[in-house]
Amino acid sequence: MDNSNTHTYEVNLRWNAERKGILTSPVLPSQIEVATPPEFPKGMKNIWTPEHLFVAAINSCLMATFLDIAENSKFEFISFESNAVGTVEKLDGKLAVTEILLKPTIVVPTLKHEEQLRKILEKSEKACAISNSIKTKVILEPIIKV
């Protein structure tokens, strides 16, 4: 494991056609097609957009951070799923993602440690490198099931 405090992540983008491009990374085997959202002029349906990727980055960071903190806390759970919804609004004449609602659903064997789980989730959201890098309001609304 690399204990350095600095890490880099290279992503390359190549314009393909119309309003579409291809994202790749030299360290990843797959690529992602991206496009302008269909809500905008000449936008395209059924293709990942920068807005989807932004929300996905926050959501997947929550999961990765939760898994790390839960493991370090020896917290047992059965499953983790998370829904995230980003809201884009026009502020001062500019479009911005103003809010991301995270709704993780965690299934646990018992509710005996529900308070500990809630603390782990809150700590996970606060420790997420991506959330810490943005000015967008992030709201955490966990759902806990047995």
Dump pLDDT digits (tens) for 64-86.
Answer: 999 999 999 999 999 999 999 99
Number of domains the chain contains:
2
Q: Both 64 and 38 in a single domain?
A: no
pTM of the model: 0.92
pLDDT of 82-106, one tens digit each?
999 999 999 999 999 999 999 999 9
Q: Both 44 and 106 in a single domain?
A: no
Distance separating alpha carbons of residues 106 and 78, to the nearest angstrom: 7
Instruction: Indicate the DSSP class of residue 121.
Output: H
Q: Would you state the pLDDT for residue 66?
A: 98
Distance separating alpha carbons of residues 54 and 47, to the nearest angstrom: 14
**Residue 108 in tokens:** 């646990």
**Residue 112 in tokens:** 């005996």
Q: Which residues contact 65 (CB under 8 A, 6 or more apart)?
A: 124, 125, 127, 128
Q: Would you state the pLDDT for residue 27?
A: 98
Residue 4 lies in a domain: no
Helix (H) or strand (E) holding 120: helix 114-127
CATH number assigned to the domain comprising residue 125: 3.30.300.20
The amino acid occupying position 130 is I
Q: Both 65 and 36 in a single domain?
A: no
Q: Both 55 and 32 in a single domain?
A: no
Residue 1 lies in a domain: no
Residue numbers of the domain that contains 15: 9-48
Query: Within a 13 Å sphere around the CA of 36, how many CA atoms are in the beta-carbon half?
Result: 10
Cα 144 to the center of its chain, rounded Å: 19
Q: Both 59 and 17 in a single domain?
A: no
Q: Would you state the pLDDT for residue 3?
A: 72
